[in-house]
Amino acid sequence: MRLPRASGILLHPTSLPSRFGIGDLGPEAHAFIDFLAETGQRWWQILPVGPTGYGNSPYQSYSSYAGNPWLISPERLAEDGWLEPADWHDLAALPAGHVDFDVVGVTKERLLRSAFARFHPERLGFEAFLGENAHWLDDYALYMALKDAHKGAAWYDWEPELAVRKSVALERQRAKLAESIRYYQFVQYAFDRQWRALREACQAREVHLIGDLPIFVAQDSADVWARPDLFLLDAHGRPTAVAGVPPDYFSEDGQLWGNPLYDWKAHAAENFAWWIARMKATTDRVDLVRLDHFRGFEAFWEVPADAPTAATGRWALGPGTAFLEALREGLGGLPLIAEDLGDITAEVEALRDRFDLPGMRVLQFAFGTESESEHHMPHRFVNHCIVYTGTHDNDTTVGWFTAQDVSTVQSGEDLRAERRFALRYLGTSGAEIHWDMIRLAMVSVADTAIVPLQDVLGLDGTARMNVPGRARGNWGWRFTPDQLNARTRDRLADMTAAYSRWNGEAPEQYRRVRKRAAASTAPTAEPTAKTD
């Protein structure tokens, strides 16, 4: 798969402005699509959009299929007639620059319950939605209703007949919890309607979505509860080994993710049907998918379930070629980006290249001493890759360049040496390091350049989205409307056009050579838009 020369912005919808304390799929999301189109961006990259569980992480979801209820816009629900502005007129003031997840959860739950009370199931294709999505929604809605009935307890702590899905016990609970099940079906229906409207708005402005598919699923999820036979679990539904990564840039003990590992033999026996269905659901929502932790499909880090850290794990072989061949056949192609960061071997690169998948390059990793790394140096990049100034796991560019604390396994002197070399390489003073790095991404030979919005705005480390290994305090950053001002928009648009990344034909004010006014006899073209 080859991509056109283009650029885009990384921003999770929860980071959008909103009066409800968290970004959602309402008016501000549609305004952001307009911003992307007006600045020439082809791509809007997001994180996983499933309902979040432990730590509010998009990578620890209750379902591979369901949408996050907190992304549902109350304004859009009002347009459907299921809410009224009066329903939120007494809403307490919520933080504008970050998400208070505890408060947001209560607020959105109250509004969604009010909308459900006004909802008439016979309207607007609800029954058709249930039929089309029964293969996952029936289990998910029952799972969520049972979690409520058990005060949030994980499924493996329910009564044994429910944990192991005895059919008689499940049918009894379906009847008993019918209203709660219907509520969770309604929530997913509302999410689906709003997501489809977002996709239509993107298509109208020729903006494309890059989604994100986590390699692993959460232990406490409808996915594992419904198909425990596809995971390495003991007789009580608990993992015998868990996922993680060995000691790396972010942690000297590695990262202990804790997700259950797949029984790849069981998946192969079904020709990876579970994975194909999961991937189809994702590609129904987005145009391109970042396949998280790609190296885990060649070999994954297996950690004993009782290990205190990931350092004691070992490499185990993944499904490799057979998996990707099955995906390609099942999907009719591979609209994927290989997230090939971390401990990448020749075998991982060979698997990526065999299926012609673009990999990732991160500029914050470009100035270290590992001269053989594909991330070192930008002049070694290939066309067929995605270049990022940083990812959701990195500090912001300004934070990376200015922070006094070292939140990685690097020494302070190593990081200072990287910064010094970055300035030498860039040929700048670093006074606007974020624009220097954006320019480096844009001018590179990489087919696609993606920039986190925090870097466009020049924000410091307080705007960081995630610190790997930190249990709480992640995923909450939001921007405010005043930060995305006309000067910033114009500067991004001008740079996008200057380096031939504009999505389509650039407007005249951003073209490399502008048309002279009819009355002018000047031999030179007008200058491009002012950028400083």
- Rounded Cα distance, 420 and 439, in Å: 18
Q: What is the DSSP letter of 479?
A: -
- Rounded Cα distance, 297 and 274, in Å: 15
Question: Does the annotation count 339 as an active-site position?
Answer: yes
- Rounded Cα distance, 514 and 528, in Å: 8
C-alpha dihedral over 370, 360, 464, 531, to 10 degrees? Answer: 100
Q: For the chain, what is the total number of helices (H) and then of strands (E)?
A: 18, 12
Are the C-beta atoms of residues 223 and 208 closer than 8 Å to each other?
A: no
C-alpha dihedral over 60, 391, 475, 293, to 10 degrees? Answer: 10
3-state secondary structure 209-226: EEEEECCCCCCCCHHHHH
Active-site annotation holder among 325, 393, 414, 432: 393
Are the C-beta atoms of residues 451 and 7 closer than 8 Å to each other?
A: yes
| 205-221 core/surface letters (b: 16 or more CB in 10 A; e: else) | bebbbbbbbbbbbbbbb
Are the C-beta atoms of residues 185 and 137 closer than 8 Å to each other?
A: yes
In degrees and rounded to multiples of 5, residue 65 shows phi and psi of -110, -35
- Rounded Cα distance, 415 and 339, in Å: 24
Amino acid 54 reads: Y
Are the C-beta atoms of residues 216 and 243 closer than 8 Å to each other?
A: yes
Query: Tokens 């959105």 label which residue?
Result: 108
Helix axes 346-354, 320-331, angle to 10 degrees: 20
Active-site annotation holder among 24, 212, 292, 340: 292
Helix axes 178-204, 134-149, angle to 10 degrees: 130
CB-side neighbour CA atoms (13 Å) of 67: 26
- Rounded Cα distance, 206 and 35, in Å: 12
Pairing type for strands 448-452 and 385-388 reads parallel
Query: Tokens 């930060």 label which residue?
Result: 483
Whether cis (ω within 30° of 0) applies to the bond prior to 377 is yes
Are the C-beta atoms of residues 467 and 474 closer than 8 Å to each other?
A: yes
Query: Tokens 């868990």 label which residue?
Result: 242
CA 429: distance to chain centroid? 33
- Rounded Cα distance, 485 and 231, in Å: 48
Instruction: Enter the tokens of residue 110.
Output: 């109250």
C-alpha dihedral over 259, 260, 264, 265, to 10 degrees? Answer: 180
Active-site annotation holder among 24, 28, 220, 339: 339
- Annotated catalytic residues are 292, 339, 393
